[in-house]
Amino acid sequence: MASGLEKYALASERVGEARLAQDAQIQSRFLAGWNTTLNTNLMFAVKARKNVENSRLMLDSIKASKGASKGDIDHLSEEARAEIEQAEDEFVGQTEEAVGVMKNVSIALPFILCGSDTR
């Protein structure tokens, strides 16, 4: 009986070591790539968010410097209106780009998270 238990213990130990080796391979070969992809997508999202913030600050500063209060630009010169409209267009463009980048992250994230479950 002792010899049978010893064989079972050795077999269980080999199975355990094989599982640990498999987990290490999954982490190094599979999850590392997903982790890199996720980090890259998140860096793009952070950069896009910062661009939106900067373009909004620029728009607000241009409006303040031109004396436009709460969207009232009728009394401004044509040049001032054009500058404000250009800043608004830049803000809208940056916002649309950020939405697209963040959609890519939100689409990729479930796949990455599902792939990270090794058990």
Distance CA 79, CA 58 (A): 17
Confidence at residue 118, expressed as pLDDT on a 0 to 100 scale: 41
Name the stretches of the chain with pLDDT < 50. 116-119
CA distance 102 to 105: 5
d(CA 65, CA 56): 14
**pLDDT for the residue numbered 73:** 75
Residue 32: predicted pLDDT: 79
- Specify the pLDDT at position 111: 65
